[in-house]
Amino acid sequence: MELLKMSNISKSFFGVQVLSNVNLTINKGEVHALLGENGAGKSTLMNILAGVYTRDSGSIIFDGKELIHTTIKEAEDIGIGFVHQELNIFNDLKVYENIFLGKELINGFRKLEKKAMINETRDLMQSLGVDIDPLELAGHLDTSKKQLLEIAKVLHSNAKLIILDEPTTALNNEEIKKLFGIIKHLKKQGKSFIFISHKMPEIFQISDRYTVLRNGSFIKCQDIKHTNPEEITRYMVGESYNSESMYETRALGEVVLELKNLSGEGFSNINLSVKKGEIIGLTGLQGAGCSEVIQTIFGVMRAKSGEIKVHGKVVTQNDIQTAMKNKIAMVAANRKENSIIPDMSLLENIYISEHVLNYKKQHIVKQREINKYTRLKELLNIKANHYGDAITSLSGGNQQKVILARWLNTKADIILFDNPTQGIDVGAKSEIYKLILELSKEGKTVIMNTLEIPEIQKIADRCIVFYHGGIEVELHRNEINEENVMLHATHAVHTRLNEKEEENDRD
Amino acid sequence: MTEIKLESRKAHHQVNIKKLWNECNYILIFLVIFIVFLIINGSETSWTSITNILLHSSIIGSIAIGMGLVILTDGIDLSVGSMFVFVGGLTILFYNITGSILLTLICALVIGGICGGINGILVGKCKMPPFIVTLSTMLIFRSISQYMMNEMGETRYRIEASMASYTALFEFGNGNVFTIPNLAWVFLFIVLAAIYMTTNMKFGKNIYAVGSNERAAKLAGINVEWVRIKAFAICGALVGIAAFLKIAKDTSFDPATSGMNFELYAIASVVIGGISMSGGKGKVVGIMFGAMAFTIIDKIITALGMNALLNDTVKGIILLIAVGIQMIQKRSSK
């Protein structure tokens, strides 16, 4: 029986088509995997379903009723629950207050029925088999429990269809197992799930059917039994997919950056040496420590112990200005918060860091800056009209190029990238990969932290996989693949070994 | 194809007009008030009455420029009025001892710079909220000024008329060059220097960057702490110059009433000048027009023979209108 039928959904933002004639059908009591690369249109489609965006055309039939101009609240009320990738938990409220937020139980005197709410929360958690105290402050829960709280919240509002947007990124294997148990349990009760994930093993473990989107178009919908990961990947990336096309082997130079027993906030005892011209990918689950290592090299965060050596010299002062003098640059994660200076023009956004290095000469020679801007704009193929335009008027990919231009302008040798392709479209992404490869050919050293393994596959010489603040394994280019990386990133290799040992012990 | 091009060009034009209007509305507000002034004054309008606008804007205007720099970094300085009295009082005492005009000017600059620097260190280094820090120093500066006066058994800080350079100082404070008052020249010089600093100097651009997105500014390598400290210190130094101008013009300071509400007038001038209270946006030249608009309101009220106590009512209403216009623009541009 069909619970949801979305047909011919189209949507464009500012003249850019992000969805064109997409279809999605969900049956009652199934787990449906929604697949596609970042930027394929999955989240836009889900946001349309949940009433966050309005569609340009197409129809949605949910539970036998056609939905027209649904608001977020209405979507919730008719039984569509959305568990976002970024958790929407109020840390300063208690667990039960989070569950009942906006639909508090009150008595005749408009007083809160706290006891009833607490009990109901307790029952809900018990039915899910989750050990969360209703009176606990939500901020005190760890990420996995917050995730479960979010799911509980959605279930409590009697959702018939639950959208899970990459729910396992922050979970370890044990927790994933538990989550899947809960999903299977709820499935039996007739709840349906849309499951968005990039992790193939999980998809095959939990889902019944799948739908693939690519560049905003519907590609394929099928039973999961009739396919294999290779086929799905081909659907996702299309014919043009060729990971080797851009990469070339290069001759590497001497060691330019060395970390020795480096420890800091969120990581410890990191040893790593990087050669001139090398591209290194750091990866791991969220919170594994990659981003922290990068930020510590750049001096944003302080090292607790150990040393950083740049060009053979030990860095004694761990701050951003010193890192910049040592010709290190960092393209930070979360472009909007950490990189963009919204009230400044393109030109100003590009010259601001170079001026830090040349601070003594205070006068700005505008023509010289414009010349530099023009050169960088051509080099990076930045699509912009005028140097005086606001940086916020550019697309995400071009904004990121402006930030990269800011750092190339400082003539840095070592460029650190923290999640550089976050929120930019597929085309701009591959342009950025190409740029990184070109930079490395010119002798720039690149260290890139990313959660997307295909990205590392495309450009990296080596991949360092982190787990819980330490280096789990170092993979060479030919060993980098999604499964292998995930096995180490989730510590699954060791879990398997331990299980085997336990079995052996029993024998 | 050509149609599309035309369309886009038209859109571009509209964007430009909107941009121009957004960036220059401070002149419009000033012009409206100025024209009202000219109409009311009628035939009595003279060159002097116009240069007087500049003269009477010079002291509060200099302070407002400093305030503007602080607000551009997303800070605020509530202590400028009290600091004005505090620096003025100490500077008068210093003059009465040394009798040197130049040293007195340097003294005003240095004491002002130190007072502002203290605010800056508390805000920049110690990460205390600027509102609270400068609220505290506002109380402290005025209280000390009044206490010192009280201890000396007097009611006003007054420069000794017996000093050899007294006449020279007084003449500087009340004289003209090319029919424009000296104080107005000083003010214009400060405005030009501030415009140069904010448009052509690296430090000036850092002020905007810090106010626009502090985190991004820090990650771009800017020493955010120093930028904040310097902005407050420059604001203090400008308060010092303003105090010096006031000494030259009026020869005395009343610790209880001088500089009263100056922080509010300065903030108002900055806001009317089109600078965003959340920092990072706006032009320093606007502050000059903002300060002059306020001075003209005083003059209009005097010319109309209205009760001077209504001054602040009119100023308050003008401020609300100015902010209202800016809000409407903001909403329409979104």
Q: pLDDT of B84-120, one tens digit each?
A: 999 999 999 888 888 888 888 999 999 999 999 999 9
> Among A291, A320, A355, which would you mutate to test the B interface (most chain B Cβ atoms within 10 Å of its Cβ)?
A355
> For chain A, how big is the Rg over CA atoms in Å?
25
List C-alpha distances in Å: B272 to A243, B20, B142, B209, B326. 57, 16, 27, 22, 9
Which DSSP letter does residue A363 get?
Answer: B
pLDDT at A423: 67
A216: left (phi over 0), alpha (psi -120 to 50) or beta: left
Question: Which of A281, A291, A240, A213 lies closest to A430 in space, CA to CA?
Answer: A240
Extract the tokens encoding A44. 């836009």
User: B157 or A500, which is more confident?
Assistant: B157
Provide the shortest C-alpha distance from residue A358 to chain B (in Å): 9
Q: Determine the 3-state secondary structure of A495 from DSSP.
A: helix
Half-sphere exposure of A358 (CA within 13 A, CB side): 16
Per-residue model confidence as pLDDT tens digits over B177-223 = 898 888 999 999 999 999 999 999 999 999 999 999 999 999 999 99
Distances (CA, A) of A300 to A293, A351, B219, B331: 10, 20, 7, 36
**B115 exposed, middle or buried (CB, 10 Å; 0-12, 13-18, 19+)?**
buried
Helices and strands of chain B, counted as H and E runs: 13, 4
Distances (CA, A) of B101 to B96, B114, B159: 10, 20, 12
Per the listing, tokens 């969360």 go with A132
In angstroms, the CA A283 to CA A294 distance is 11
Residues across chain B: 334
Instruction: Give percent above pLDDT 90 in chain B.
Output: 46
Beta carbons of A343 and B215 less than 8 Å apart: no
Is A338 part of the contact surface with chain B (CB cutoff 8 Å)?
yes
For residue B200, the chain A residues in CB contact (below 8 A) are: 363-364, 366
Query: Smallest CA–CA separation between A393 and chain B, in Å?
Result: 12
- Global pTM reads 0.77
How far away is chain B from the Cα of A394, in angstroms, using its nearest Cα?
A: 15
Does any CB of chain B come closer than 8 Å to the CB of residue A392?
Answer: no
CA distance B248 to B232: 24
Q: How far is CA A404 from CA A353, A382, A401, B289, in A?
A: 11, 10, 5, 39
Residues of A in contact with B208 (CB under 8 A): 341, 343-344, 348
Give every CB contact of residue A475 below 8 A, 6+ residues apart in sequence: A462, A463, A464, A465, A484, A485, A488
Q: Cα A405 vs. chain centroid, distance in angstroms?
A: 23
Per-residue confidence of chain A (507 residues) as pLDDT tens digits?
A: 788 999 999 988 766 778 889 999 999 989 999 988 766 788 889 989 988 888 888 999 988 888 887 888 888 888 888 888 777 888 898 888 888 887 788 877 878 888 888 888 888 888 877 888 888 888 888 777 888 888 888 888 888 899 988 887 767 777 788 888 888 888 888 889 999 887 777 888 889 999 998 888 898 888 888 888 777 877 877 655 454 467 888 888 888 898 999 888 888 889 999 999 899 999 887 778 888 899 999 999 988 889 998 988 888 888 999 999 999 999 988 888 889 999 899 999 999 998 888 888 888 888 888 998 999 888 888 888 888 888 888 777 788 889 999 999 998 899 999 988 776 766 677 788 888 988 898 889 999 998 778 788 888 889 998 888 888 888 888 888 777 777 777 766 655 555 555 556 555
Mean pLDDT of chain B: 86
Query: For residue B6, what pLDDT band results from cuts at 50, 70 and 90?
Result: very low
What is the distance between the alpha carbons of residues A493 and A501, in angstroms, rounded to a whole number?
12
Residue in A357, A262, A393, A255 with CA at minimum distance from that of residue A312: A255
Q: Please say whether the beta carbons of B113 and B172 come within 8 A.
A: no
CB contact under 8 A, B280 and A343: yes
Q: Is the Cβ of B15 closer than 8 Å to some Cβ of chain A? A: no
A356–B213 C-beta distance less than 8 A: no
SS3 A61: strand
